[in-house]
Structure 1
Amino acid sequence: MTVIPLSESWTVTALSGPAPEGVAGRAIPATVPGSVHLDLLRAGLIDEPFDGDNETTQQWIGDVDWRFETTFRWHEDGSERRDLVAEGLDTLATITLNGVEIGRTENQHRSYRFDLGAALVEGENALRIDFDAPVPAAHERSERHGARPHVNHHPYNALRKMGSSFGWDWGIDVAASGIWKPIRIETWSTARIASVRPLVDVEGTTGVLEAHVAIERADGLRRGPLRVEVEIDDRVAQVEVAPGETSARVRVEVPDADLWWPRGHGAQPLYDVAVRLADVDAWRGRVGFRTVHVDIAPDEDGSPFALHVNGRLIHVRGANWIPDHAFLTEVDRDRYARRIAGATEANMNLLRVWGGGIYESDDFYDLCDEQGVLVWQDFLLACAAYAEEEWLSREIEAEAREAITRLSPHPSLVIWNGNNENIVAYADWGWRSKLGGLTWGEAYYRRMFPALLAELDPTRFYSAGSPYSFSSYLSPNLDQYGTVHIWDVWNTKDYASYREWKPRFVAEFGFQGPPAWTTLTDVVHDAPLDPQGAQMLVHQKAWQGNINLERGYGPHLPAPKTIDDWHWATQLNQAAALRFGISYFRSLSPYNTGTIVWQLNDDWPVISWAAVDFAERRKPLWYALKAVYAPRFATIQPAGDGLAAVLLNDADEAWSGDLVVRRLAFDGTVRAEAVIAAEVEARGAATVALPAEVAAAGEPTGEVLVVDAAGFGRALHDFAEVVEQSLDRAPLEVRAERADGAVRVHVTARSYVRDVFLLADRGHRDAAVDTGLVSLLPGEEHVFTVTGAPEDVDPSAFTAPLVLRHAGDLRA
């Protein structure tokens, strides 16, 4: 096989639509893979799309038809087939080679292969790809086929294009066009490997690989037999593919195979697999041997959603994942690696790839394989009703087939999910009446997707949707059945209301907070800066988002008087809300088997639910998640008329020891104390009632309950909210020094101090800090280590009042 990459000498031209003077009709150098926005930016024809209100002034880009063109040379090599392979075109494209139309596309989420035949000529060739403007196309298709409910302002559900590229309640609207994945010429003879599905199982101690190999023959079905050989762990098996056959199944057994485990449960051994088709083609990949089962069997409480890998229950500590950049080609393997490290360092063991985005690149899944991060993968249908007629269903089936096949080697992928919130929207959001009999997607969720998985990859679990109660006769979002989404807290309730639910598994829930100060002010330039400023609201996509932030902190924190305090208060409240919710949900173990917080990441600089902002700065929420997702975690929860310590031990070793329980005044005076023996089995939980004389506050606004247990993070219970507490506004002694290439900030508490946090980027934009949200008792010291700051930065910059913060400094 000969491969000619087509990545050079591209131009892009605005053909029709509202392109401004200086852009219309002008051939602009284009980068492939890439996007129109980025090409215009590099050419100096638009300003930074994420800055200020440029989103509004650049809406014309999605209303323009764009033409990409290049030339390349080809010389006859005697091959029987000459194909154009486009891994990703975004989205409605007409492809012409030397004036001959060779194909059309209408799906960003799949690849295409076109036989060029006689259109490819000796010498120079001219390739042209014309893209229809996506925004008017989506509206036209919606009107033609029947408008169906959807969130946000464009009918993204009428086009197989990334839903969030049209904007979301955290995302910028940059729907445009481009060649977003590699494109190339392949010439070949005899046959080629069209795809490989290396499915695994474990039988006793033996790993079993069944490689399903699809073959394309250059001459159709006529030529003679072919040999397919599969090698794994120095073991080789082969089969002969008879004339007329285009597929093969090869079984290879690996005795005493090392099992692949989720992180925290064991190692992640990966086995190289080589598939060879005679001497004409080869495929290489990796697999990990493991089994997957999700228990949804009804019980006396409803029905669980309990994920088992290799027969072991996995308590899920996860986050939802959205596309990591609004311009997808800007995400490379290194960025994926940093983002996934952001998950693993916060003690997460699962990422859910959400259905309004994309099937991520192989780099994402490879890294999850290597790190033991489980993947829940949505099919790409989210928050909308989708037509089931042939014009759309053929594309959804094609993309699903390709995605299932491509992702089949990855041991990290354990769950396929039919959609995000579409079933609950039909059942509970009033869609049924709005649809008036139009199809809405049920055929995909209940028939197409499960049938495709049964055919192509029955080794993973399938859920028809999220949330889902695993019954057609129940509301899809009942907390005692299957998976639940909890959005009432963000939308209407105080975060203390999380205790109104008793969920088996929480697949979505979250609370907003702004990004780091530098990330925010790099793009928001309101003067003066204000939560309701014009540019601030451009970077707040949730309906009444900043009003919800104010409502959210009101019962808990003093009202901020400055924009600096608003920023700190809303970041702190976001962290407090999720810390409260996850602590409670985990305390329900084993009844509750997991949480997947919304969300880990951002795709542009925005006020959102993310734990790590677009500039990769970790918000206070990230530090809260690291604490509450610790494998060994202690929390204090209401129990009857009193309080109890709940110990979660997600480790292979049982634990026993003493709980040291103290009720302290804020000045450190011990008001009551007890020592209680406790034990927790491996991968288990234990609830220990706390004596009333210790657990009942004498002075709620000036006392704190403390539980210490060796090997667990300290558990604290505040008897009152910050807004009510008599916290010292200046409780810390502080000094900073340089040591070993870092800045070390030493803080010592003179009285009880809640949630000390160092906003490192406010000391220097490149700085980051190792720990955060540290609460201290009188006399205790903590050292923050700050990295990334240049040597000429004075260490005292990181002790300034707007840098080193704590909950009490919001008090008047």
Structure 2
Amino acid sequence: MSIKKVLFLNMVIAFAFGCQPKEKNPNLMVQNEINENWQFRQAGEADWMDATVPGTVHTDLMDNGVIDDPYYRLNELNIQWIDKEDWEYKTTFTVHENMLSHDRVELDFKGLDTYADVFVNGEQILAANNMFREWQVDAKEFLKEGENELRILFKSPIKIGLEKYDANEFVYPGAENDQAERGEVEDGKRVSIYTRKAGYHYGWDWGPRLVTSGIWRPVFLKAWDEARIENLQIVQHEVSDEKATFTAIFEVEAEGNEKATLSVLNDGTTLASNKVQIKEGVNKYSVDFEIENPELWWTNGLGEAHLYNITGKMKIGQQTFSEDTRIGIRTLELVREEDEHGTSFYFKLNGHPVFMKGANNIPNDMFLPRVTDQNYHTMIETAKKSNMNMLRVWGGGVYEDDLFYELCDENGILVWQDFMFACAMFPNDEPFLENIRQEAIDNVKRLHNHPSIALWCGNNEILTAWNTWGWKGIAEKQGEDVPEKVWQAYVDIFHETLPEVVEEFDPQRSYWGSSPSSGLGVQADLVNGDEHYWGVWWGKEPFETYATHLARFMSEYGFQSFPEMSTVKKYAEPQDYDIYSEVMKSHQRSSIGNETIEYYMLKEYDQPKDFESFLYVNHVLQAEGIKFGLEGHRRAMPFTMGSLYWQLNDVWPVASWSSTDYYQKWKALQYYVKKGFEQVLVSPYIDGVKLKVGIVNDRLENVNAQLKLKLMDFDGRVIWEKASLVEVPANTSDNYFNENRHEFLYRKDTRNLLLSAELVENGETISRNIFFFRPFKELNVPSPEVDYSVTKTSDGFNIEVSTDKLAKNVYFQMGSEGGFFSDNYFDMLPGETKTIHLKTEISEIDLNEVLTVRTLDDAF
């Protein structure tokens, strides 16, 4: 449930179906969720089955035993018939006399997926055609006292898509991720672009093809009298230490002309009031107010993400209407200034340039109603623990649930928000453009008060695809005028419709036309905008290139891994435990996926001894590879001012670029991200003939610390060491050690050596990094004796670990049991002792049965 609620006299009355009628109270708004007694069927069939709302056709079919779990083995292939059929949902609900006595009675559909004809008592009241919109319909004339029937016919998005595809005079380029052939669509036609629906439902290179239909967000029956506050927007103006000034914009829907008093309150204390004349219809009215001695909202790591509880009230006669929202007081700007390199691209928060550390996130499931509040809490907790300050909501998924943005507000996570367009050219007929405009209005108005929203971005990769992926050539082959028509559609959507909505409904935030790009309609380069770098992976370039291929803002880059063994067991059988088995290839949607993982692995490691070892080494491979990017991007500040890797999460159990799997288990990469995004980072690296140690300080104050460097062998013998005092200025990156590596390593056997870099502040290690001079397969790594002991704590166990020799990538597992290790996949120096925490609910006896530890040398 969103924090933002419409209330009358600060209350929402939720009536359970079958409750006793109440006397009409004109001061109260009535809001019923229609979520019971739902049934569904394939259109034209006789038998109805029980349904869950919110839900989807696929999950309802699973619940009724009609289809098997599509995530298991190859089951996805057997259910592609579902999206070619129409589906029908119905329920009955009781409407009491007091509901119908209100001036207005409305049905509010928060999400219909997608082509939905809605009927009340046999009368059609709505023809919805956009998954991303909310639909409100005046329903009073269609309702009756007592039992009412609500019926929704969902038409096949594939059949309607084919009609639109065939009616168009040319084929729009793109949509390569639409797995139409797997979906058994006629002639492999990619129809996804014609429907305003989550693009990833049609397939992506990390997801299955499961084209859903259904009531995916709640349905409400609402009733009120005279007027209501449709939207409350808080526009911030000036901010100083003494005060912050704002305007509250009340969007009011009224039945008639009335005198009203509009007030703004902070935690119940009135800040300002205005007397206004409310006019019939939907109109906007303003109240200026200020907050004294404001506490600022900061991103994770820089300070508290302070929030204010604001209420807008409207009093008409004896009735009071109100709406609650939360705001954070902060200044945030996307800085685009010419410099000696090109044009900057960075975010300035409360007057300070801030390096953005984070990831791209995709939806948490193919079946969106299955995403729980706990899933969102875990996701944002992961981001916060991992020292992130930004997530990018990618344009092929959905505008996320309100809770996602509320949690980002509370935890200081900025959101780069794409509009829902990715990797395809789209039509621009007038009905389609108007549909897009209304979609954008719905979501911009829903989200514009959130301090976490940093940027509105038009689309993902469409501009660069048009210019460099051959799409223009595809258009040219279809007719001389086709490229102009296709490009005009792009301009209509991304240069006009979407920025116009942002300018009208959220003018304080920046609009960025496409990611990546160097400006509106300007192809991406490395010196003027953001960059998606896929030379590592698609181009087979070495991992080290992550640290040298630098742009002003790195908004995508990534490398794949499989899930851990306990997750693989949920979708595969032992006979499938080979990366080239049909099941493992099906749970890998990159066209070069498993082969590319193996290619990179064999450059760094020997062939692992078995399948489970392959998964473990793959995790380490992914983490070590992305580490080059995390650290290289940060060392390059202020030229580079953002590093968002692809991707944080998964929609199903699969081999993908994610750092947490479908069950939200941390892979090795997530542990590396946590360390790589610490506020202060020490980072040894090779730059040509130089061995350097960089220190990055994201704090807003100087760091005075001791830099300790040690060159040692794998048995613990120190070959060379140096300690020096360093002062690292606030918000900077620089090198604090710079030596010719050939001279430094002269006559030293680098197969047996490592460099340990440690930064110590006030006796506490605030960053440590271990650097190896060769790939693992060229190192003479000994077999260490790793010992551990377990001590019970209030929420799990402390595990004290020790080793006699170098222990590479110490990895604790507990099988399928639930738990979270505070650290994992870590290196330990010879003679070192380390304590990690395991948060779990299992007993010590059970833990002793399932807890195992391994190091990288065990994998070969």
TM-score, structure 1 normalization: 0.94
- Distance apart, 1:797 and its partner CA: 4.6
Counterpart-to-counterpart distance in 2, 1:737 and 1:4: 51
Counterpart-to-counterpart distance in 1, 2:312 and 2:523: 46
Q: Give the match for residue 351 of structure 2.
A: 311
Q: Comparing 164-173 with 379-388, which one deviates more in the overlay?
A: 164-173
Q: Give the match for residue 833 of structure 2.
A: 781
Q: Deviations over 1:731-787 (max 9, x none)?
A: 1232343433645544333222322222x243x532332211221221112234334
Given candidates 518, 536, 548, the residue that maps to 2:584 is 536
Given candidates 771, 788, 806, the residue that maps to 2:855 is 806
Q: Give the match for residue 766 of structure 1.
A: 818
Alignment CA distance shift 1:263-1:789 (3 Å): closer
Does the CA-based 8 Å contact 1:200-1:288 persist in structure 2?
Answer: no
Task: Specify every segment of 5 or more residues in structure 2 that has no aligned partner in the other structure, as ranges.
Answer: 1-28, 180-189, 476-481
Percent of counterpart pairs with the same letter? 30
Q: Give the match for residue 176 of structure 2.
A: 151
Q: Deviations over 1:48-91 (max 9, x none)?
A: 22211111111122121001111122234322222211111110
Counterpart-to-counterpart distance in 2, 1:767 and 1:294: 40
Q: Give the match for residue 250 of structure 1.
A: 287
SS in 1 for 2:77: helix
SS in 2 for 1:375: strand
Counterpart-to-counterpart distance in 2, 1:783 and 1:244: 67
SS in 2 for 1:709: strand
Question: AA paired with 1:679?
Answer: E
Matched, 1:463 2:520: no
Counterpart-to-counterpart distance in 2, 1:111 and 1:127: 17
SS in 2 for 1:225: strand
Given candidates 514, 531, 537, the residue that maps to 1:490 is 537
Q: Comparing 365-374 with 445-454, which one deviates more in the overlay?
A: 445-454
Q: Give the match for residue 495 of structure 2.
A: 446
Given candidates 37, 41, 51, the residue that maps to 1:9 is 37
Given candidates 51, 54, 61, the residue that maps to 1:40 is 61
Counterpart-to-counterpart distance in 1, 2:94 and 2:703: 69
Matched, 1:408 2:455: no
Within a 5 Å distance, the mapping from 1:89-108 to structure 2 comes to 89-108=112-131
Counterpart-to-counterpart distance in 2, 1:445 and 1:241: 38
Within a 5 Å distance, the mapping from 1:155-304 to structure 2 comes to 155-205=191-241, 206-218=243-255, 223-232=257-266, 234=269, 235-244=271-280, 246-278=283-315, 279=319, 281-304=321-344
Q: Deviations over 1:506-534 (max 9, x none)?
A: 00111111112111111112515111111
- Distance apart, 1:407 and its partner CA: 0.3
- Distance apart, 1:280 and its partner CA: 5.3
Task: Specify every segment of 5 or more residues in structure 1 that has no aligned partner in the other structure, as ranges.
Answer: 17-23
Q: Give the match for residue 803 of structure 2.
A: 749
Q: Give the match for residue 5 of structure 2.
A: none
Counterpart-to-counterpart distance in 2, 1:418 and 1:747: 49
Counterpart-to-counterpart distance in 2, 1:743 and 1:272: 38
Does the CA-based 8 Å contact 2:120-2:150 persist in structure 1?
Answer: yes
Within a 5 Å distance, the mapping from 1:20-99 to structure 2 comes to 24-77=45-98, 78-99=101-122
Given candidates 368, 374, 394, the residue that maps to 1:334 is 374
Alignment CA distance shift 1:75-1:735 (3 Å): closer
Q: Give the match for residue 768 of structure 2.
A: 714
Matched, 1:675 2:727: no
Does the CA-based 8 Å contact 1:526-1:536 persist in structure 2?
Answer: no
Does the CA-based 8 Å contact 1:228-1:238 persist in structure 2?
Answer: yes
- Distance apart, 1:242 and its partner CA: 4.3
Counterpart-to-counterpart distance in 2, 1:798 and 1:691: 47
Question: AA paired with 1:808?
Answer: D
SS in 2 for 1:130: strand
Counterpart-to-counterpart distance in 2, 1:281 and 1:755: 59
- Distance apart, 1:683 and its partner CA: 1.8
Number of residue pairs aligned between Structure 1 and Structure 2: 793
Does the CA-based 8 Å contact 1:55-1:172 persist in structure 2?
Answer: yes
Within a 5 Å distance, the mapping from 1:493-504 to structure 2 comes to 493=540, 494-504=542-552
Question: AA paired with 1:53?
Answer: L
Does the CA-based 8 Å contact 2:300-2:387 persist in structure 1?
Answer: no
Q: Give the match for residue 347 of structure 1.
A: 387
Q: Deviations over 1:304-333 (max 9, x none)?
A: 211011111111111111111211112232
Counterpart-to-counterpart distance in 2, 1:320 and 1:238: 43
Q: Comparing 275-284 with 123-132, which one deviates more in the overlay?
A: 275-284
Alignment CA distance shift 1:754-1:62 (3 Å): same
Given candidates 468, 474, 480, the residue that maps to 2:527 is 480
TM-score, structure 2 normalization: 0.89
Given candidates 779, 800, 822, the residue that maps to 1:725 is 779
Q: Give the match for residue 20 of structure 2.
A: none
Q: Deviations over 1:676-702 (max 9, x none)?
A: 332201222221234445455711211
Q: Deviations over 1:236-269 (max 9, x none)?
A: 3224034357221221111222111112222122
- Distance apart, 1:10 and its partner CA: 0.8
Q: Give the match for residue 19 of structure 1.
A: none
Matched, 1:113 2:136: yes
Counterpart-to-counterpart distance in 2, 1:128 and 1:783: 59
Within a 5 Å distance, the mapping from 1:559-574 to structure 2 comes to 559-574=607-622
C-alpha RMSD of matched pairs (Å): 2.0
Q: Give the match for residue 394 of structure 1.
A: 434
Counterpart-to-counterpart distance in 1, 2:230 and 2:450: 18
SS in 1 for 2:444: helix
Within a 5 Å distance, the mapping from 1:593-612 to structure 2 comes to 593-612=641-660
SS in 2 for 1:427: helix
- Distance apart, 1:640 and its partner CA: 5.0
Matched, 1:587 2:635: yes
Counterpart-to-counterpart distance in 2, 1:808 and 1:743: 26
Alignment CA distance shift 1:772-1:99 (3 Å): same
Alignment CA distance shift 1:794-1:732 (3 Å): farther
Counterpart-to-counterpart distance in 1, 2:802 and 2:96: 74
Alignment CA distance shift 1:38-1:528 (3 Å): closer
Question: AA paired with 1:307?
Answer: F
Does the CA-based 8 Å contact 1:655-1:680 persist in structure 2?
Answer: yes
Q: Comparing 608-617 with 136-145, which one deviates more in the overlay?
A: 136-145
Q: Deviations over 1:409-431 (max 9, x none)?
A: 11111111111111111111111
Q: Comparing 708-717 with 281-290, which one deviates more in the overlay?
A: 708-717
- Distance apart, 1:387 and its partner CA: 1.1
Counterpart-to-counterpart distance in 2, 1:694 and 1:795: 46
Does the CA-based 8 Å contact 2:705-2:726 persist in structure 1?
Answer: yes
SS in 1 for 2:81: helix
Q: Deviations over 1:591-644 (max 9, x none)?
A: 211101111111111111111111121111110101101111110122452211
SS in 1 for 2:790: strand
Counterpart-to-counterpart distance in 2, 1:48 and 1:296: 49
Counterpart-to-counterpart distance in 2, 1:310 and 1:449: 27
Within a 5 Å distance, the mapping from 1:619-638 to structure 2 comes to 619-638=667-686
Does the CA-based 8 Å contact 1:516-1:618 persist in structure 2?
Answer: no
Counterpart-to-counterpart distance in 2, 1:640 and 1:677: 26
SS in 1 for 2:536: helix
Counterpart-to-counterpart distance in 2, 1:782 and 1:680: 28
Q: Give the match for residue 650 of structure 1.
A: 698
